[in-house]
Amino acid sequence: MKSIRELYKIGRGPSSSHTMGPAKAAEIYASRHPVAGELSPVAGELSQVAGGVSQAAGGMQPVGSFEVTLYGSLAATGKGHLTDVAITDVLGKIAPVEIVWKPQVFLPFHPNAMKFACKPASGAEQAAAVQTAGAAQAASGESGAAQAASGESGAAQAASGESGTAQAASGESGAAQTEAGEPTATAATPSALFDEWTVYSIGGGALSEGPGGDGIATATPDLYDLNTITDIMKWCKSHGKGYWEYVAECEDEGIWDYLMEMWEAMKACVENGLENEGALPGPLHLSRKAATYYIKAKGYKPNLQSRGLVFAYALAASEENASGGTIVTAPTCGSCGVLPAVLYHMSKNHEFSDKKILHALATAGLFGNVVKHNASISGADVGCQGEVGVACAMASAATCQLFGGTPAQVEYAAEMGLEHHLGMTCDPVCGLVQIPCIERNAFAAARALDADIYATFSDGFHRVSFDQVVEAMKQTGHDLPSLYKETSAGGLAKGRFVE
């Protein structure tokens, strides 16, 4: 199982799978083609190193523009989630970008698929790129005579009618032709795509290249030998330790500095959300509520004030996410209000120290990581149960630990947090992470506090384990039709909410 660093990430909303993931993929692809018009490989392995061009089996070709095809859920709700903006912001600095939307096409590995490709430059741009490359080769000590002898020089190309200049002079398009005179799609055809790369945004900002294709997108080591809560709980019992101590056992010493960075970002997100007012972006014109809830909650007696404050904190973080603000995935952008709300409440209103909060963050991350490893945290894959449901489980475990719960009680709290979200659909209205997403974060935060109390009253013994609920969630999610998995094609998303 991977590091919890792969679960907690600072990024910008509104979606980890539809905004952060595509932006990351675009950055990786941009490193392959850092400058428009320069010769780039027609085919071959993608490189993580920005700059430089290596010769590939398909030859070299100057990039004129990019084409990015979005499939399934990415295409269905991509406009509301700013997927196209995230990609264009990166690749548009290099060359023009065309986004192709295919919401009805679902690739087998995951609903959030995208394909990056290059379009060749024009004939004149190709000729200029060849001349530039030739000059660079000459400057590096490769003689033109040697190139001519090998048939690779620009002069030899011109003599054989292959250079862009010769093509322009003879009126030829540069496309290969069949015996009947019809053009065929080759790497040299201006309309042909090259250097295609298919990648999947699998939730929480993580990327995958599909089965057996870890490669550049997921090249991080496994740190945890145990990947089920059942086994980890046995470890805790045999060593007399807690879940956070198992995290410390598996991670390096820098994990606490990393978690402190995440905690500071969570606090800033909540506090910014409490200060900001006005309408959220998008056609719903939804008004922010966090500031109002916070003011009203402060006027209630303590028994009601506690719940009102938690509502306010969760609304604050979720509204920041919906407006494209800076958040921490916990485990995703769409569920980023649950855990920060609960921990902020524990810190501010119950005066738990930062050290205790970091230990709670570690435990919450462990439970979220187990779900990510054994099932999914992607709304497009398993519905909102994988986002808000998992966030509730994480917050339930964290709270129970803070209030002195045993490992068995902590596991029970997390199990209830997830179990009672089973079957929850992901049906964002207008493809925005606003309705019902924001309110769901607030209710899940309150439910986490209830799960803690319920588990604390028990001895920790119960029939259904957390791992069994994770398996049930995975199966339930895969049984759900795509209508209810982040496509805005069913459920609440079909209602008329925009006048």
* Omega before residue 111 within 30° of 0, cis: no
| Phi/psi of residue 467, nearest 5 degrees | -65, -35
Pinpoint the residues of the chain covered by CATH 1.10.4100: 229-494
From 375, 437, 394, 374, select the one nearest 18 (Cα to Cα): 437
Name the fold adopted by 229-494.
2-methylcitrate dehydratase PrpD (1.10.4100)
- Say what the pLDDT of residue 291 is: 97
Instruction: Name the pTM for this structure.
Output: 0.81
**Beta bridge partners of residue 102, listed in sequence order:** 71
Are 214 and 31 in contact by the 8 Å Cβ rule? The answer is no
* Per-run averaged pLDDT (10 residues), the chain, 499 residues: 96 94 94 71 41 39 90 94 94 95 95 95 58 51 44 40 38 37 42 88 91 61 96 98 98 97 98 97 96 95 91 98 97 98 97 98 98 97 98 98 98 98 96 96 98 97 97 98 94 80
End-to-end CA distance of the chain, in Å?
47
CA distances in angstroms from 280 to 213, 384, 404, 495, listed in the order given: 39, 21, 39, 19
pLDDT at position 215 is 46
Q: Which residue from 23, 45, 19 is spatially nearest to 32, judged by alpha carbons?
A: 45
**CA–CA dist 164, 291 (Å, integer):** 62
Which of 3.30.1330, 3.30.310, 3.30.70, 2.30.110 is the CATH number of 9-122+191-208? 3.30.1330
Q: How many residues does the chain have?
A: 499
Listed residue (4, 10, 27) closest to 325, CA to CA: 10
Closest CA to 39 of 156, 135, 115, 116: 135
CB neighbours of residue 302 within 10 Å: 7
Decide: 4 and 366 in contact? Cβ < 8 Å: yes
Predicted local distance difference test score (pLDDT) of residue 440: 98
Query: How far is 361 from 240, CA to CA, in rounded Å?
Result: 20
Q: 162 CB contacts (<8 Å, ≥6 apart)?
A: none
The angle that helices 407-419 and 354-374 make with each other, rounded to 10 degrees, is 60
Distance of alpha carbon 257 from alpha carbon 271, whole angstroms: 21
- Which of 333, 39, 30 shows the shortest CA–CA distance to 205? 333
CA distance 191 to 372: 40
Q: What is the pLDDT of residue 164?
A: 38
Domain limits, CATH 3.30.1330, in the chain: 9-122+191-208
